Amino acid sequence: FLFRCNLAPVMQFAADVGIKSDFITMNPSVVQRAFGGFRNESDRERFVRRLSMLNDSVLWIPAFMVKGGEKHVEWVNALILKNKLKVQTAYPSLRLIHAVRGYWLTNKVHIKRPSTGLLMYTLATRFCDEIHLYGFWPFPKDLYGKPVKYHYYDDLKYRYFSNSSPHRMPLEFKTLYVLHNRGALKLTTGKCVQQ
């Protein structure tokens, strides 16, 4: 069962990331950042092409977690219906964020607002026997000092250490690393090695 975050593109990176998706998240901000806010037909067509690749995946849209998110979701829903796309949509409530944050707080992990990745990991712990995480590296350089992109598919700059950021990525990473060392998950932070 494969989770992907924020409707990350896969086709042009398929050799590294594969193309399978079972559950994919899409923060409403993705509409603005990656698809130009649907300002023109070309942006809408790119979005429809991306969703058409999901083939019955669950598209998880946290529409009610950020102010103004509902507007983008209305546009997304209209495009899904108009184009008869084979995708199942899910809209988590704000209570989910509070429940996940509460879960981590009871385990002495003080997260302001869990990242999408941490939300997905927490969800996976409920129904997966084995969990492998990729792309959870919260630093601009790897262990050897080589620059690492924020996302593999864009040129977004690192803001992990900003006080304005709602996420505490290094703390999340430290927590996941501890769980990795205890055998609760497999955290891959370097090159993937073929088994």
CB 57 within 8 A of CB 20: no
Tens digits of per-residue pLDDT, 99-117? 888 998 888 888 877 888 8
**167 part of the active site:** yes
What CA dihedral angle connects 119, 124, 126 and 131, to 10 degrees? -130
- What's the pLDDT at 134? 92
- Average pLDDT taken over every residue of the chain: 86
Catalytic residue chosen out of the listed positions 98, 132, 167, 180 = 167
Q: What is the mean predicted confidence (pLDDT) over 8-15?
A: 89
- What's the pLDDT at 157? 66
- What's the pLDDT at 189? 87
Tens digits of per-residue pLDDT, 59-93? 999 877 667 777 878 889 999 999 999 999 998 88
Structure tokens at 95: 């209570």
Residue 151 scores a pLDDT above 80: no
Residue 150 scores a pLDDT above 80: no
User: Which of 6, 9, 11 minimizes the C-alpha distance to 23?
Assistant: 6
Of the pLDDT bands very low, low, confident and very high (cuts 50, 70, 90), residue 50 is: very high
